[in-house]
Amino acid sequence: MAEVHELQQRLLAAQNADGGWAFRAGGSSWTEPTALALLALGLSSQTADSRAVAWLVKHQNTDGGWPPSGAIPTSTWVTSLCVLALPKTQEHHERLRSATGWLTRAVNPEVSPLKQLLSRAGIPPSKAPGGSPWFPGTAGWVIPTSLSILALLRMNASVATVRQSQSYLLSHRCPDGGWNHGGSPFQRESPASYPETTGLALLSLAHTSPAELRPALRLGEFFLQQPGSLEGWSWLRMGLLAHGCRLEQSGVRPPPRSTRDISLLLLALAAGDAQNPLFLTS
Amino acid sequence: MQPLNRRHFFFGASAGFAGIAASCSSRLRTAGPTDGSLVSIVKAASYSVELTDVIRRILLEHRLPIAGRNILLKPNLVEFSATAPVNTNPVFVAAVAEAFHTLGARHVSIAEGPGHRRTTLEMAEAAGFFQAIPNFEDRFIDLNIDEVRRIRIQNPLSSLQELYLPQTALACDLLVTLPKMKTHHWAGATLSMKNLFGVVPGAIYGWPKNILHWAGIDKCIADLYYLFPKQFCLVDGIEGMEGNGPILGQSKQAGLIVGGAHPPSVDATCCRIMKIDPAKIGYLGLVAKRSSWDIGSAKQVGEPIASVATRFALHPDLEHLRLQA
């Protein structure tokens, strides 16, 4: 508890005067660290940080999405984090509704048989159906797709869309059972999974049959012993707990290096809490 | 090699070398991206030799204006690995930094924006950068999350009309690209020009920076080259990667450092060393067409290509890129 309090204080101390958070001390506010901080701080409070909420509200685009920062006009994947972070109150109902629409439209649709054939032939990159892109107009990848699933589940969005995205994740596993960034196997490569993407993908597949995910869960438990980064440790802890795994040994936890890390750590330490929006789905 | 200390990094080094550098002509100041085709090829058998001296000699050979300048080193950092030759070797990066300091650079910083994973500092730690370079964390800028500026691309070759690019890379006096000499399963070879993918910010475009794939990999490589006219290249060819690069290939000992101020000439020279036909590398062909640059025009100094050329295995699907004897 003392650790959580100390982390919260560090996070609050790093808040910019405009209500947002920067990636690095002294930098300008960006959407991702702001949404993550709002999520993390909201775990212990009945009321959201009003300045952070105001920052997000101010930066929502008219298309319903959010840009990576105030300096960039295009709505991107960070919209998922904003949907997860904004309080689900009447005040924000319309904002969340339009953001959910943006996320749903961002999911890559079914592709033609010809494109599927080219994709199978290894011609990169493919816009596999169900994947969500980092940046509009590009292919789907594991991290934005996983976060999109969590956000769409929170908003009780179309079941079909969520299932399509979950199918995308299941079809983009590495041969070892986990996930890397989501690149299709190319020219007989056998890519290895990453801890951070494996943890996040597991979190977004909380309702999937344990049998289907057994190799990924085993791999996740293995990764947790040496996650390589705090980000990896945090997503793995959340992903494994979402599937009811007992984490008797949580492995070596790397130290936080940024405010983003602190937010992820707070979310991981509160894995399974009723207040944690990332777990409302499990 | 002596380890660097904090003072070296932030305040530059001896006035003696600064004087030498200051008296050198301002090649880069006047050079656009289409001239300056001198390329140095220097043997370096391992990372334990006196790399700083070797690199300093290359820099002097090219008469770079270094004294008082802000230098940004851009290694290639791809994956968690201290052993596989996937990342630019941190000892090589430390030696380059030291060489610039001894020639009077005002500030030398290191920056990279990895393309697949966002755990940049952790990857750098695993690759040995923290061990090779004291206070590395204070000296490093993660280009994936840097402050950005919108840059319109004049006459783009790709479908991109603009890019948001990191202020750190745009503001430096000299961008020193430090790629690993590797084969690449899409582009054929990944060298100085491809290394610039790492300046495109992941916080905007993602991990990977997939917008560059959709806009045309070769064309984007060429577009990025034109956006950074003040470059110098030092290719870590001491231990390279062959086969299924840039990640899953095998080690290839080439025992070389290749340097120059004109990235296409440096890359074309590296291709010949690797026994790859530079005329068949898409992005080099695009630059040749755009700027009337002759792919065979580089003036090599140091080791002759014929004496150091070593066949880098190519992915079987890319054998058509092989340089014919």
Q: Which residues of A touch B (CB under 8 A)?
A: 23-24, 27-28, 30, 32, 68-69, 71-72, 76-77, 124-125, 133-135, 137-139, 141, 143-144, 180-181, 183, 186-187, 189-191, 194, 196, 228-229, 231-232, 254, 257
Distance from the B281 Cα atom to the nearest Cα atom in chain A, whole angstroms: 18
Find the CATH number of the domain harbouring B46: 3.40.50.11440
Q: How many domains in chain B? A: 1
Instruction: Quick: pLDDT tens for A67-85.
Output: 999 999 999 999 999 999 9
Q: Which structural domain, as residue segments, surrounds residue B22?
A: 6-27+35-321
Q: Look at residue A219 and tell me if it is in a domain.
A: yes
Q: What percent of chain A has pLDDT over 70?
A: 89
- Are A280 and A151 contacting, i.e. CB atoms less than 8 angstroms apart? no
Q: Look at residue A255 and tell me if it is in a domain.
A: yes
Q: How many domains in chain A? A: 1
Distance from the B192 Cα atom to the nearest Cα atom in chain A, whole angstroms: 23
A144: chain B residues, CB-CB within 8 Å: 206
Q: Look at residue B203 and tell me if it is in a domain.
A: yes
- Select the residue from A188, A233, A258 to test the B interface by mutation, using most B Cβ atoms within 10 A: A188
Instruction: Quick: pLDDT tens for A264-275.
Output: 999 999 987 877
Confidence bin at A251 (pLDDT 50/70/90) = confident
Average pLDDT, chain B: 89
B164/A71 Cβ within 8 A: yes
SS3 labels along chain B = CCCCCHHHHHHCCCHHHHHHHHHCCCHHHHCCCCCCCEEEEEECCCCCCCHHHHHHHHHHHCCCCCCCCEEEEEECCCCCCCCCCCCCCHHHHHHHHHHHHHCCCCEEEEEECCCCCCCHHHHHHHHCHHHHCCCHHHHEEEHHHCCEEEEECCCCCCCCCEEEEEHHHHHCCEEEEECEEEEECCCEEECCCHHHHHHCCHHHHCCCCHHHHHCCHHHHHHHHHHHCCCEEEEEEEEEEEEECCCCCCEEEEEEEEEEECCHHHHHHHHHHHCCECHHHCHHHHHHHHHHCCCCCCCEEEECCHHHHCCCCCECHHHHHHECCC
Q: Look at residue A199 and tell me if it is in a domain.
A: yes
Q: Which structural domain, as residue segments, surrounds residue A260?
A: 178-183+194-205+213-269
Instruction: Report which of residues A233 and A210 the model is more confident about.
Output: A233
Q: Which residue of B has its CA nearest to A25?
A: B146
In the predicted model, is pLDDT for residue B53 greater than 90? yes
State the pLDDT at residue A224. Answer: 95
Q: Look at residue B59 and tell me if it is in a domain.
A: yes
Q: Look at residue B102 and tell me if it is in a domain.
A: yes
In the predicted model, is pLDDT for residue B218 greater than 50? yes
**Partner residue facing B206 (CB), from A27, A134, A254:** A134
B148/A72 Cβ within 8 A: yes
A24/B145 Cβ within 8 A: yes
With tokens 């792919």, the residue in question is B295
Q: Which residue of A has its CA nearest to B211?
A: A138
Q: Look at residue B1 and tell me if it is in a domain.
A: no
Mean pLDDT of B57-77: 97
Instruction: Quick: pLDDT tens for B227-250.
Output: 999 999 999 999 999 998 898 899
B121/A134 Cβ within 8 A: no
B113: chain A residues, CB-CB within 8 Å: none
Residues near A112 by beta carbon (within 8 Å), at least 6 away in sequence? none
- DSSP for residue A157: -
Q: Look at residue A3 and tell me if it is in a domain.
A: no
Distance from the B12 Cα atom to the nearest Cα atom in chain A, whole angstroms: 25
Contacts A–B by Cβ distance under 8 A: 91
Instruction: Report which of residues B3 and A168 the model is more confident about.
Output: A168
pTM: 0.91
**Partner residue facing A138 (CB), from B145, B214, B244:** B214
